[in-house]
């Protein structure tokens, strides 16, 4: 029996034949890098930023032209952690290309030279650095960027969740990074972030160091018609059927967020046998099971916010799209404590990425959380 590949990937790199749309976004990203432009890539979480970057840069033509360094800094909370993450990624992605590049890395990063390890079997240095070894962050950062400049191939550094640098306790981190990056001629950057408000403030406010230093690329939900056709075609290839109503239910309930649509379609594909059709009732059952599956995680997420923050979160959820949250009418309608308390709570919820602020109002950031709240009584 031939094993059928489930075409709806939710983790890892997506093979080209299973990658849905993003044609224009991919062209824009590649064109920008080919023309030595930095890019700021923004979207809500789970919309497919990382998948797009992998799709554009993980092919033989790009690998012939560039060395791509990818680093996720969501877990970092200080400049030293950022440098450690960046240094590790550069060592693994660039220095690993050859023994010569490894030895050059060790010779260029003089501030850490005493801390590198050595593998006598393979006769090559190893990145055996600890956070405590980074004693001169600014100097080490300059050395890492200097190393990228010395490589005889253009480099692309993709920094995921770049807005994280705004929470570092060190002063002027943005200015420090900008001062180094603007001097580079052999390296371009993709600054990726899911906190759109923070990313736009960083790159489009004239008061910030990164002002107008990168081309903007925003990911919106994949066109519903295009995504439906993609899904139905993949069902048909496996001699299965997917009703339009079933797909639309998944797409609309999760507001077109790529990860969630993929997750529901993956399960729908798995439970549908050849010659059978997945209908809307099947998708609704999958969605219900998925909400139940995440119940504990979502409860734990809310366990870390205060009562007043919960009250504002529930008000935003009940409103659907909350406008004028500081008005007396809004606070009275949802029985909130006071406009000042609401403002303070909303700011915290924004920091926690539980709500999103647009030009006209506030909404719940995560469609799954929004669904879960609809089914719970508080």
325-352 tens-digit pLDDT: 999 999 999 999 999 999 999 999 998 8
Position 1 scores a pLDDT of 43
CATH topology of domain 224-293: Helicase, Ruva Protein; domain 3 (1.10.8)
Position 114 scores a pLDDT of 65
* Class for the domain spanning 297-374: mainly alpha
Chain centre distance of CA 151: 28
* Structural domain boundaries in the chain: 22-218, 224-293, 297-374
Q: Give per-residue pLDDT as tens, 135-165.
A: 999 999 999 999 999 998 999 999 999 999 9
Tell me which residue has tokens 């009703």: 243
- Which numeric CATH code is attached to 22-218? 3.40.50.300
H/E stretch holding 236 reads: helix 224-237
Position 247 scores a pLDDT of 98
Cα 342 from Cα 345, distance rounded (Å)? 5
Per DSSP, what are the bridge partners of residue 86?
none
Q: Please name which of 72, 69, 79 lies closest in space to residue 131, comparing C-alpha atoms.
A: 79
Task: Look at the alpha carbons of 318, 227, 160, 15 in this order and tell me if their dihedral is positive or negative.
Answer: positive
Question: How is residue 105 written in tokens?
Answer: 């890395």
Position 100 scores a pLDDT of 86
Residues of the chain with pLDDT under 50: 1
Using the 8-state DSSP alphabet, how is residue 159 labeled? Answer: E
Task: Look at the alpha carbons of 65, 67, 73, 77 in this order and tell me if their dihedral is positive or negative.
Answer: negative
Strands, E, within 3-110: which ranges?
A: 39-42, 66-72
8 A C-beta contact, residue 368 and residue 291: yes
Q: Give per-residue pLDDT as tens, 39-52.
A: 999 998 899 999 99
Position 102 scores a pLDDT of 85
Q: Please name which of 358, 40, 77 lies closest in space to residue 210, comparing C-alpha atoms.
A: 40
Cα 112 from Cα 116, distance rounded (Å)? 7
Could you tell me what percentage of the chain is helix, strand and coil, using 3-state DSSP and rounding each to the nearest 5?
55, 10, 35
8 A C-beta contact, residue 255 and residue 221: yes
Question: How is residue 106 written in tokens?
Answer: 């060790």
Position 359 scores a pLDDT of 79
H/E stretch holding 356 reads: strand 355-357
């Amino acid at each position: 029996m031939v094993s059928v590949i489930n075409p709806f990937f939710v983790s890892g790199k997506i093979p080209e034949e299973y990658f849905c749309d993003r044609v224009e976004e991919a062209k824009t990203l590649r064109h920008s890098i080919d023309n030595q432009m930095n890019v700021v890539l923004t979207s809500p979480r789970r919309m497919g930023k990382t998948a797009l970057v992998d799709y554009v840069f993980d092919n033989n033509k790009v690998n012939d032209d560039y060395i791509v360094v990818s680093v996720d800094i969501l877990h970092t909370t200080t400049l030293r952690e950022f440098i450690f993450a960046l240094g590790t990624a550069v060592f693994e992605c660039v220095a690993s290309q050859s023994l010569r590049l490894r030895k050059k890395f060790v010779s260029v990063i003089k501030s850490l030279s005493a801390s590198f390890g050595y593998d006598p079997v393979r006769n090559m240095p190893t990145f055996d650095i600890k956070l405590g070894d980074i004693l001169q962050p600014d100097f080490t950062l300059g050395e890492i960027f200097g190393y990228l400049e010395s490589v005889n191939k253009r480099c692309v550094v993709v920094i995921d969740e770049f807005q994280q640098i705004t929470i570092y306790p060190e002063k002027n981190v943005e200015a420090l990074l900008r001062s180094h990056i603007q001097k580079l001629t052999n390296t371009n950057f993709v600054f990726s972030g899911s906190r759109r408000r923070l990313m736009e403030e960083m790159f489009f406010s004239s008061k910030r160091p990164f002002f107008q230093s990168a081309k903007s690329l925003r990911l919106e939900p994949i066109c519903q018609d295009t995504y439906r056709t993609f899904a139905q075609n993949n069902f048909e290839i496996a001699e299965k059927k997917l009703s339009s109503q079933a797909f639309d239910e998944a797409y609309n309930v999760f507001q077109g967020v790529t990860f969630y649509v993929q997750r529901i379609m993956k399960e729908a594909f798995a439970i549908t046998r050849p010659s059978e059709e997945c209908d809307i009732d099947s998708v609704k059952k999958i969605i219900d099971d998925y909400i139940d599956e995440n119940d504990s995680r979502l409860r734990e997420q809310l366990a870390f916010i205060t009562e007043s923050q919960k009250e504002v979160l529930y008000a935003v959820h009940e409103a659907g799209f909350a406008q004028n949250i500081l008005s007396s009418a809004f606070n009275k309608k949802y029985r909130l404590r006071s406009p000042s308390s609401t403002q303070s709570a909303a700011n915290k919820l924004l920091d926690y990425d539980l709500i999103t602020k647009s030009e006209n109002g506030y909404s719940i950031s995560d469609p799954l959380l929004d669904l879960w709240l609809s089914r719970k009584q508080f």
